[in-house]
A = this chain, B = another copy of it.
């Protein structure tokens, strides 16, 4: 069970700037301004808590820039990261009134804040909105199921390879990728320890599948990486 660095105090209610909606909301918008009732934009510093398990879930967020992790803590300190959220992705939407996960800023980040009541009211009259929310829920579900498969039935090498490919899809420039998160974050996402992640990356480097320098990774042999992501 690995310790996880406890996070800094809650954010000192960040500045809420009114925004020029058009540019921000296009991912949740099918072209029209389906989500005008936004509360504004908030900024969070690295490792700052966005919300905690048990908080009231009266708002949800869209990532404008930076990376966010959503996670669950066990009583003994173990942590499971459910997902990393990047540019354009929604997170923090709940069915009940209470958060079931915590959310923290992996890097400095800017988020649009949506007031849940406002959006729910809009959804009543605007089919576009309710459709967007449904699609978001279903996409999250698909991703959570893929995550379960990874955690339940794959070895360390497969998990790390799959993670690199997944992250390449989210945040790559060509064959190079920047790991915004720490090894500990990766370990807690993959259900491994930091040492196993490190060893696995070393193995991939030794086998000339990737090149590693701190958080910078270059994929040398993508085919091999893909092979290792679902090998026996």
A residues whose Cβ falls under 8 Å from a Cβ of B: 1, 72, 74-76, 78-80, 82, 93-95, 100-101, 123-124, 127, 130-131, 133-135, 137-142, 144-145, 147-149, 151-153, 190-191, 230, 232
Query: Which of A94, A148, A190 neighbours the largest number of chain B CB atoms within 10 Å of its CB?
Result: A148
Of the residues B76, B127, B135, B232, contact of A76 by C-beta under 8 Å: B232
Residues in B with CB closer than 8 Å to A153 are 74, 78-80, 191
- Whether A135 touches B1, Cβ cut-off 8 Å, given contacts A74-B230, A80-B152, is no
Residues in B with CB closer than 8 Å to A191 are 151-153
Sample of 17 more A-B contacts, CB < 8 Å, known A82-B148, A124-B127, A133-B134: A72-B145, A74-B230, A76-B232, A78-B153, A80-B148, A80-B152, A80-B153, A82-B149, A95-B135, A95-B139, A127-B130, A130-B130, A134-B137, A137-B138, A148-B148, A151-B152, A152-B190
| Copies of this protein, total | 2
A to B CB contacts below 8 Å, 18 in the list: A72-B149, A75-B230, A79-B153, A80-B148, A80-B149, A80-B153, A82-B145, A82-B148, A100-B145, A101-B145, A127-B130, A130-B130, A134-B134, A134-B137, A140-B141, A151-B191, A152-B190, A152-B191
Whole-angstrom distance between the Cβ of A166 and the nearest chain B Cβ:
14
Whole-angstrom distance between the Cβ of A180 and the nearest chain B Cβ:
20
**Beta-carbon contact of A95 and B142 below 8 Å:** yes
Residues in B with CB closer than 8 Å to A148 are 80, 82, 144, 147-148, 151
Closest to A190 in B: B152
